[in-house]
């Protein structure tokens, strides 16, 4: 927590951390980012050039939490987990392929998608989001 007090503008994960701080309009933490592989995460890259990365801040059994960022692009996603997400920057449209329901999200918006859902994920402007995922 001392790190968060020294730099409250950035997410402050770390060994022994019990509270993770994510600030709207703040720069993402500079370290710990890994390339996102669509195939390993239930996604089919339909833009043929998906550029995304993630950082995991917490793993507790079936729960995973962290940050994700992506450049514009589209994918069909069969969600391998239930996810609650909060968008810090950018814009994304999510279409439920079972119902045709489509929603657009911008900074300050959040959503929950149930495990097993199939969606069209269309990033219109570069995004950064926090996520909290649970796998049954």
Q: What is the pLDDT of residues 58-105, one digit of tens each?
A: 999 999 999 999 999 999 999 999 999 999 999 999 999 999 999 999
What is the number of helices (H) and of strands (E) in the chain? Answer: 1, 9
31-51 pLDDT, tens per residue? Answer: 789 999 998 888 999 988 899
Burial of 119 (0-12, 13-18, 19+ CB in 10 A): buried
Distances (CA, A) of 89 to 62, 123, 127: 27, 11, 5
Distances (CA, A) of 37 to 8, 20, 51, 52, 67: 31, 25, 9, 8, 15
Give me the CATH code for the 28-134 domain, please.
Answer: 2.60.120.10
């Amino acid at each position: 927590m001392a790190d968060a007090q020294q730099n409250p503008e950035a997410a402050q994960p770390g060994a022994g951390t019990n509270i993770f701080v994510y600030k709207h309009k703040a720069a993402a933490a500079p370290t710990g980012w890994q390339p996102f592989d669509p195939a390993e995460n239930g996604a089919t890259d339909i833009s043929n050039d998906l550029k995304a990365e993630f950082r995991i801040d917490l793993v507790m059994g079936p729960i995973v939490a962290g940050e994700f960022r992506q450049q514009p692009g589209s994918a069909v996603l069969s969600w391998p987990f239930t996810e609650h997400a909060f968008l810090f920057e950018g814009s994304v449209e999510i279409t439920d392929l079972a119902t045709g329901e489509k929603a657009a999200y911008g900074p300050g918006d959040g959503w929950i998608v149930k495990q097993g859902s199939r969606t069209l994920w269309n990033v219109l402007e570069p995004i950064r989001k926090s996520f909290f995922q649970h796998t049954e």
